[in-house]
Amino acid sequence: MTPTTFSPRALSALPPQPRVRPARLQDSRALQGLIQHYADQGILLPRTEQEIQTIITDFRVISYRKTLLTCGILEFYTPQVAELRSLAVSPGLRGAGLGRRLAAALVDEARRRGAEMVFALTYSTEFFAKLGFSPVSRQLLPWKVWKDCLRCPKHECCDESAVARWLKPRPDSRPLFPILPSAPLAGRA
């Protein structure tokens, strides 16, 4: 399924503050098409429609007149650490501010749910920097590596950057690792 493209006239009709909402089962085909568009470029991990349906309640979307415009997931690894993932914007709408709107809503949701830190793996560090994220080492995210990176085709030569945003003040003396999950990594020392 190819993501919808938009004319300049259609773009001008979008509301100034589009509403972020939970995804519904009927969104699963459009979600799969949007994610597959970026998976074909090696930017996102591919997901089947069935996989999406099993985690549909994790997705947040912006849609307009029954057309999916953008999507993303906030996934918690611990009560204090969450990942912003599967962030995708319909190709014709890149630069229209919808990705920024959705990402900000997901960060706000993480804060309301008590997260201390939100991270992402990305090729767009500049995008995340505008939202207050800073570069961090992927080695600080062992559960992410264990859960998703092992199934990624780029596992052995990952070129994504890890970024994180602290949502609560963190005293310099407090170590980073107590709130980050740790798990043994297969084949890693």
User: Residue 22's pLDDT is what?
Assistant: 96
Give the start-end residues of each E strand in the chain: 20-22, 59-64, 67-76, 81-89, 117-122, 134-136, 161-166
Query: Nearest Cα to 166, choosing from 118, 120, 129?
Result: 118
Query: Nearest Cα to 33, choosing from 44, 22, 24, 21?
Result: 44
Tens of pLDDT, residue by residue over 118-159, are 999 888 899 999 999 999 887 777 665 566 655 666 556 667
Tens of pLDDT, residue by residue over 92-119, are 888 888 999 999 999 999 999 999 999 9
Amino acid at 58: D
- Do residues 163 and 128 make contact, with C-beta atoms less than 8 angstroms apart? yes
Hey, what domains does the chain have and what are their CATH numbers?
15-173 (3.40.630.30)
